[in-house]
Amino acid sequence: MEYYFSKDLLSIREILGITQAELAAKLNVQQVTISRSELGETRPSASLLEKVYGYAFDKNINLGKLKGMLWSEKIESGHKLLFHGAKSVIEGNLSVRKGRNNNDFGQGFYTGESYEQAISFVSGFEKSCVYFLDFDPSNLKCQKYSVDQEWMLTIACYRGTLEQYESHPMIQKLIEKSRDCDYIIAPIADNRMFQIISSFINGEITDEQCKHCLAATNLGYQYVFISDQSVKSIDLIERVYISESERKYYKGIRTSDAKLGEDKVKLARIEYRGQGHYIDEILN
């Protein structure tokens, strides 16, 4: 899927209220380059893509976020607008078998509920982009999780830190439950959150402390597609370019949020000390 460059270029000019000649001068390119690009007569080079989208973002035009707002109004009733941050272009059909086995819920196709959420996870990759998806959940079975003991143990198992308990009936039941569906809706657990879960698995904190520490670093919800039927219910509707300026911006936000989250975790550890149960009490 290509970027909607011609349309985006015209939108950027109209938002800024400038002519093709003025934009060409600001980007240090020929006017004919802008003209042909708007008409879709030429395929933009990597350099032109970066110049145009980078210039727009530097002028406070968050085109990706604006597109998300517009798409949310276009999506058919009962459908869900989702976002997928990709390190590069998606080749071929969507598949639930291309992901790693040690993700939050094992192998699957992972998406999120917001543009900012999707971009934050790929902001460190030079050729990253964000895909917008139209998801129709009709006739699909969903498994939904919240920040609780069940969610923590399920993620810990998939990420490989519950090996000593993997044959425990409770863990086996949790894994069976997580695969008895077409897709999953669950809180996102990034590496910082997984470190907190690991502290619980290692017996350093109770499940109650862990739950509140995780709630303090809330990143929103993810949609994980695990059946072939579920990915057939997804339509890729747009691919959005991420400029270097935008990647730096969201990387900075994530760093700031991480510091705030770390401080909240420290407070939660103190506030709920002694409450709840340790891992060996739960899986005795």
Identify which of 9, 5, 48 has the alpha carbon closest to the alpha carbon of residue 28.
48
Sheet holding 183-187, edge to edge: 142-144, 183-187, 221-225, 109-112, 80-86, 129-135, 234-241
Instruction: Tell me the mean pLDDT in the region 217-227.
Output: 87
Read off the pLDDT band of 57 (50, 70, 90). Answer: very high
Pairing of strands 80-86, 129-135: antiparallel
Query: What is the tally of helices (H) and strands (E) in the chain?
Result: 13, 7
> Model's pTM, two decimal places?
0.90
How high is the pLDDT of residue 219? 72
Encode pLDDT of 64-111 as tens digits.
999 999 999 999 999 999 999 999 999 888 999 887 788 899 999 999
Contact in structure between 87 and 52 (CB atoms under 8 Å):
no
How high is the pLDDT of residue 259? 64
Encode pLDDT of 31-41 as tens digits.
999 999 999 99
Residue 181, pLDDT > 90, answer yes
Percent of the chain with pLDDT over 70: 96
Two tokens, residue 29: 């390119």
Encode pLDDT of 115-153 as tens digits.
988 998 898 888 899 999 999 999 999 999 998 889 989
Residue 56, pLDDT > 90, answer yes
